[in-house]
Amino acid sequence: MALTITCPICGKRNGYEFRYGGEEKGPRPDEAGLTPEAWCDYVHMNNCVAGVQEEWWFHKDGCGSWFKIHRDTTTNLEIEQTEATE
Protein backbone atom coordinates (compact mmCIF):
# COMPACT_ATOMS: atom_id res chain seq x y z
CA MET A 1 0.00 0.00 0.00
CA ALA A 2 1.90 3.05 -1.23
CA LEU A 3 -0.50 5.74 -0.12
CA THR A 4 -3.09 6.05 2.60
CA ILE A 5 -5.60 8.86 2.61
CA THR A 6 -7.67 10.09 5.52
CA CYS A 7 -11.30 10.50 4.50
CA PRO A 8 -13.14 12.91 6.83
CA ILE A 9 -15.99 10.40 7.08
CA CYS A 10 -14.43 6.93 6.84
CA GLY A 11 -11.00 7.62 8.35
CA LYS A 12 -7.64 6.39 7.08
CA ARG A 13 -8.02 4.08 4.09
CA ASN A 14 -6.03 2.51 1.28
CA GLY A 15 -5.23 5.08 -1.43
CA TYR A 16 -6.65 2.81 -4.12
CA GLU A 17 -10.16 3.50 -2.79
CA PHE A 18 -9.86 7.12 -3.93
CA ARG A 19 -9.78 9.10 -7.16
CA TYR A 20 -7.51 12.10 -7.48
CA GLY A 21 -9.39 15.35 -8.12
CA GLY A 22 -6.59 17.77 -8.91
CA GLU A 23 -4.83 20.59 -7.14
CA GLU A 24 -6.73 23.01 -4.94
CA LYS A 25 -6.87 26.17 -7.06
CA GLY A 26 -9.08 28.35 -4.95
CA PRO A 27 -12.58 29.56 -5.80
CA ARG A 28 -13.90 29.55 -9.35
CA PRO A 29 -13.06 32.91 -10.98
CA ASP A 30 -15.80 35.48 -11.33
CA GLU A 31 -17.41 35.18 -14.77
CA ALA A 32 -17.72 38.95 -15.19
CA GLY A 33 -14.82 40.06 -17.36
CA LEU A 34 -13.29 36.59 -17.46
CA THR A 35 -11.14 36.10 -20.55
CA PRO A 36 -10.84 32.73 -22.29
CA GLU A 37 -7.13 32.75 -21.48
CA ALA A 38 -7.75 33.29 -17.77
CA TRP A 39 -10.38 30.55 -17.71
CA CYS A 40 -8.07 28.18 -19.60
CA ASP A 41 -5.31 28.89 -17.08
CA TYR A 42 -7.66 28.21 -14.18
CA VAL A 43 -8.85 24.92 -15.65
CA HIS A 44 -5.70 23.51 -17.19
CA MET A 45 -2.61 25.08 -15.67
CA ASN A 46 -1.20 23.39 -12.58
CA ASN A 47 1.53 24.39 -10.17
CA CYS A 48 2.99 20.86 -10.03
CA VAL A 49 4.58 21.57 -6.66
CA ALA A 50 7.56 19.47 -5.64
CA GLY A 51 6.66 19.36 -1.96
CA VAL A 52 3.49 19.78 0.04
CA GLN A 53 0.39 20.66 -1.97
CA GLU A 54 -3.29 20.88 -1.13
CA GLU A 55 -5.38 18.69 -3.38
CA TRP A 56 -8.85 17.23 -3.92
CA TRP A 57 -9.71 13.55 -3.58
CA PHE A 58 -12.93 11.58 -4.09
CA HIS A 59 -13.75 8.51 -1.99
CA LYS A 60 -15.10 6.50 -4.92
CA ASP A 61 -15.15 3.07 -3.25
CA GLY A 62 -16.46 4.42 0.04
CA CYS A 63 -18.72 7.21 1.17
CA GLY A 64 -18.60 9.26 -2.05
CA SER A 65 -17.20 12.40 -0.40
CA TRP A 66 -15.05 15.04 -2.08
CA PHE A 67 -12.48 16.50 0.31
CA LYS A 68 -9.03 18.07 0.46
CA ILE A 69 -5.78 16.74 1.90
CA HIS A 70 -2.19 17.94 1.99
CA ARG A 71 0.25 15.55 0.34
CA ASP A 72 3.99 15.71 -0.08
CA THR A 73 4.45 14.98 -3.78
CA THR A 74 8.11 14.05 -3.31
CA THR A 75 7.38 11.26 -0.82
CA ASN A 76 3.77 10.54 -1.87
CA LEU A 77 2.71 10.70 1.78
CA GLU A 78 -0.25 12.52 3.20
CA ILE A 79 0.73 14.99 5.87
CA GLU A 80 -1.27 15.55 9.02
CA GLN A 81 -3.24 18.57 7.91
CA THR A 82 -6.40 17.19 6.39
CA GLU A 83 -10.03 18.21 6.55
CA ALA A 84 -10.47 15.28 8.87
CA THR A 85 -7.95 16.55 11.38
CA GLU A 86 -8.24 20.33 10.97
Partner 1 sequence: MKEIQRVSPVVLKGTPVKTEKRDNWDVVLEYSGETEGPVIVDLSHKPRFDLQDGNVGEKKPFGFDLPQTPGQSVFEKGILANRMNGTQVSLYNLAGGEDTPDDPGITDVTEATLFIALIGKEVFSICEKLSALDFEDPNREVPFLFQGPFSHVPCQIVTLCKDGDNSGVVLTCSRGYGRDMIHSILDAGKEFGLAPAGENRFSDWIKSL
Distance CA 19, CA 60 (A): 6
Q: Select from 15, 25, 54, 65 the one that contacts partner 1 (CB under 8 A).
A: 65
Distance CA 18, CA 86 (A): 20
Query: Residue 71: phi, psi to the nearest 5?
Result: -135, 140
Q: Select from 3, 43, 63, 79 the one that contacts partner 1 (CB under 8 A).
A: 63
Is there binding between residue 85 and partner 1 (CB under 8 A)?
Answer: no
Is there binding between residue 83 and partner 1 (CB under 8 A)?
Answer: no
Summarize as ranges the residues that interact with partner 1 (CB under 8 A).
9-10, 13-14, 17, 59-65
